Amino acid sequence: TYNGMGACFNGLGIPDSSLNNYRRALVLFEALGDTTKAIDVESNIAIVYKNIGLYEKSLEVAFRQLARLNQKKPTRALASCYN
C-alpha cells in the first residue's frame, strides 16, 4: 500500500518519496470514506514534516488530524496526536 511504502521511504531517510506515498494513501482513504486510516496517514505525514524540520507544517497537519479526531470517539489515534 501507499501508506506502507511511505513508511519504508521514511525509514530509508527519503522524505520526499515518503510524503508522496503518504499523500496518495490519504487521497485514497478519504475517497473511501475511511477517516480512521486517513487520520493515521496524517499522523505519519506530520512525523515526516517534524523529522525534516518543517515544524509549522507538522503542527498544521497534526491540528487538522486532531480536529478530525475530536469528531470521533477517542481512540489510540487521539493519543498519538499528543505524542
Contact status, residue 6 vs residue 18, Cβ threshold 8 Å: yes
Place of cell 514534516: 49
The pLDDT of residue 36: 86
The pLDDT of residue 10: 96
Contact status, residue 48 vs residue 10, Cβ threshold 8 Å: yes
Q: Is the pLDDT of residue 26 over 90?
A: yes
Can you tell me the mean pLDDT for 32-55? Answer: 94
In the three-class reduction of DSSP (H, G, I as helix; E, B as strand; rest coil), residue 37 is classed as: helix
pTM of the model: 0.84
Can you tell me the mean pLDDT for 3-26? Answer: 97
Q: Could you give the C-alpha distances from 53 to 8, 11, 37, 48, 69, in angstroms and in order?
A: 19, 16, 25, 9, 25
Provide the percentage of residues in the chain whose pLDDT is more than 90. Answer: 67
The pLDDT of residue 21: 98
Q: Could you give the C-alpha distances from 57 to 1, 6, 67, 73, in angstroms and in order?
A: 24, 18, 15, 26
